[in-house]
Chains A and B, each alone.
Chain A
Amino acid sequence: MIIQSHWYDSGVEGRVVLGQGRTVGRAWTERVGTPQDTRASSRSSGTRTQRHRSACYCHRLGMVRPEPRRLSLAKIIAIDLGVFSLLNFFFGTTTYLLVSKTDPAVRWSDSVTDYLPLWALTAVLTPLIFVVTRRHRIGPGRGWQPALRHLALMSLVWIPLFTLMWMVKDLYGPQPFPGVAQSIGNHWAFALSDAQWYVWIALAAHAYYGAREAVAEAREAAELRVANAELAGRLSQVELQALKAQLQPHFLFNTHHAIAGLIRSGERSTALDLLANLSDLLRYALETKEHAVVPLRRELDFARKYLAIQQARFADRLDVQWSVSPDCREVEVPTLLLQPLVENAVHHGVSSEREHNHVHVDARLDDDVLEVRIVNSTVEGTPDRAGFGIGMRNVHARLARLYGQDYTLELEVLGPEQMQLQIRLPMTPNTR
């Protein structure tokens, strides 16, 4: 399948937006063909440029956005000829109308053909001005280079060519040719005044490319907004999934197994406690809704049950301490805020061979700011639990959504084997 050049030119001009395989905005990708097709074509002719490859990436990414459609050559020629034929007709006719008042012998067709060389040359050179303008636009913040280029084009190409054009016209004109020097002398001033057309055309080119870019930018901005909004929605879903996944499978099965151990050794009531705690955790996690906030006491309750289960599993290898001041218990916090943090705190200890590990949870109000600290023992070289980094980021993302800039979440090394995580939140989250 052949890809139209201005589409896969996206390597240079298009843009790619990530949307996890989904298309945001219109479905441009259809035009690009299947990935197999593009890959096959780039393989079959190894020398083809990376344009094929980037088309292929774009497709796999799900979105290709071309720049505003570039005009085809036929259209450009048609517009160019059309515009300058019209100008020729207009100037020829007005001249004829003016001159015919004093000189009735003048013919309309002579008057029109008289202007033909001027507009024909302008028509030929106009695309050049557009090309130069496209690459080098004059404007604030663009430096002197573009202006110099235009000046050079005008004085070194435009004016000499027009002088030459007038000379050629002399050569084939009704009067005998007066000689090169004389002819240049006659016409350079005319050519200089023809430079005004350069200025007008360059202005038109600037207006055209400026407008095109403005339209593209506006559209880009609008689409980026849509993409961001979609992404934000999807992200919070992913975050929540990730949060729920924290309670998955190793923890669940191992806890079940611990309960089985208690049953086998006849510790009926401990087994039932553990089972009840586990059910509470599951219920809490399953009930959790994306933007829900809960009083801190419910989060602490969750953490308490979670830690109780871990203590039951690891017996005296884990020591848990609590200090919660009563006045902070009703402060609203996002659900499942503490779980990934407490989990990592436990992980650091019990995934080492050390016999004694501790987790200390401290919550209090400090000048209308809720401060929760989790201090835990660490072991040099114990990697974070897989996904903890992602957990941390999720927590950041959720807190940022609720509190904007008004929260802090910091990990800190307290000593060689001790680490602290501290969260500070204002008392009222923005739940809208």
Chain B
Amino acid sequence: MTRIATLLVDDEPLAIRSLQQVLRADDDIDVVGVCTNGREAVRAVEQHEPQLVFLDIHMPALGGLEVVRDIASHHAPAIVFVTAFDQHAVEAFSVNALDYVLKPFCDERLLASVDRAKKQIRRGDLGDLSSRLLRLVDATTVAPEKHYLQRVLVHEPHRVRVVTTAEIEWIVSAKNYVEIHLARESFSYRQTMETMAASLDPRAFIRVHRSTIVAIDRIRAVVSEGARGKAVILHDGTRLKVSRAHVDRLMESLSTWASTAGPSQAQW
């Protein structure tokens, strides 16, 4: 009986070592390669055409699911996904009858996965695997998230300051540049208002006026100024005018923000 060509993919050396140590107990497994990132993994799959791949989900640059996307159409090895904490992906694995193990795993759990994979390979019933993998890719591909501005570089006389967009409180336009206001200071920034508005995450920032953008979570109150329209009051008391054209959008953003706001999850 030929041994099963196996590829190990994980960006942490100790995790690779775990796989190696456990798989050593099974003589049928022939580790043909070890990869520490997704790009290497794609190359190694093309090169070695392994029958079995242990694939980490969370890796720099190219994650496990992207690796699947890149290889599934022309090569479909049996894949055992290895993950620490990816609820969304784990659901997709179950739905598509794909095998996965959670970190940290015990020897028995991993060997059970190996047995299952071996049976599939021996029976040759990898037939619909490729389609199941492609379904997985569909299920886990989040609509390509637009990359919003995360930080702006502010050029000062002797250095370049970095300001994360989360520190920005409000922005006001001035001719052909904008003034960025932080909690305690403000900068001029060479950028048009339009470009600025387009590059900021609309879930975090809202335009309240042709010449004003405000960080939604800094707004403490929306007040009426009688016949003069409305204004937003920021947490530090700053009062900014809201133009009639933007009132509806503002209220909408505020209400959705209030129901979805919360600190975002750490990724690793």
Instruction: Specify the main secondary structure of chain A where it touches its partner.
Output: helix
Contact B258 A21 (CB under 8 A): yes
12 residue pairs bridging A and B, Cβ less than 8 Å apart: A16-B254, A50-B248, A60-B259, A135-B227, A231-B220, A245-B266, A250-B84, A260-B18, A261-B12, A386-B264, A386-B266, A396-B167
B190 partner residues in chain A, CB cutoff 8 A: none
Contact A313 B14 (CB under 8 A): yes
B233 partner residues in chain A, CB cutoff 8 A: 224
Stretch at the interface among A71-79, A177-185, A349-357, A365-373: A349-357
Known contacts A224-B233, A388-B164; decide if A242 and B14 are in contact (CB<8 Å): no
User: Among residues 165 to 217 in chain B, which have CB atoms less than 8 Å away from a CB atom of chain A?
Assistant: 165-167, 183-184
Size class of A's contact patch? 35 or more
B226 at the interface (CB under 8 A from A): yes
Pick from B102, B184, B235, B259: contact of A231, CB below 8 A. Answer: B235
Number of CB contacts from chain A to chain B under 8 A: 193
Contacts A227-B220, A260-B103, A396-B167 aside, 6 further interface pairs with beta carbons under 8 A come to: A251-B266, A257-B103, A261-B16, A262-B14, A383-B150, A410-B161
A325, B183: Cα distance in complex, Å: 31
A182, B136: Cα distance in complex, Å: 99
Contact B223 A15 (CB under 8 A): yes
B15 partner residues in chain A, CB cutoff 8 A: 254, 257-258, 261
A20 partner residues in chain B, CB cutoff 8 A: 258, 261
Contact B14 A228 (CB under 8 A): no
Give 1 or 0 for each of A239-263: 1 = CB within 8 Å of chain B CB: 0011001101111011011111110
User: Among residues 44 to 79 in chain B, which have CB atoms less than 8 Å away from a CB atom of chain A?
Assistant: 58, 60-61
A261 partner residues in chain B, CB cutoff 8 A: 12-18, 21
Known contacts A57-B251, A224-B233, A257-B84; decide if A351 and B60 are in contact (CB<8 Å): yes
Give 1 or 0 for each of A60-93: 1 = CB within 8 Å of chain B CB: 1110000000000000000000000000000000
Stretch at the interface among A156-164, A282-290, A328-336, A411-419: A411-419
The 3 lowest CB-CB distance pairs between A and B, nearest first, are A389-B166, A261-B14, A250-B268
Residues of A within 8 A of B (CB): 10, 12-18, 20-21, 50, 53-54, 57, 60-62, 135, 220, 224, 227-228, 231, 238, 241-242, 245-246, 248-251, 253-254, 256-262, 264-265, 312-315, 347, 350-353, 383-390, 392-393, 396, 400, 405, 410-413, 419
Q: How far is the CB of B143 from chain A (nearest CB, A)?
A: 17
A61 partner residues in chain B, CB cutoff 8 A: 254-255, 258
Contact B220 A17 (CB under 8 A): yes
A411 partner residues in chain B, CB cutoff 8 A: 151, 161-164
A10 partner residues in chain B, CB cutoff 8 A: 224
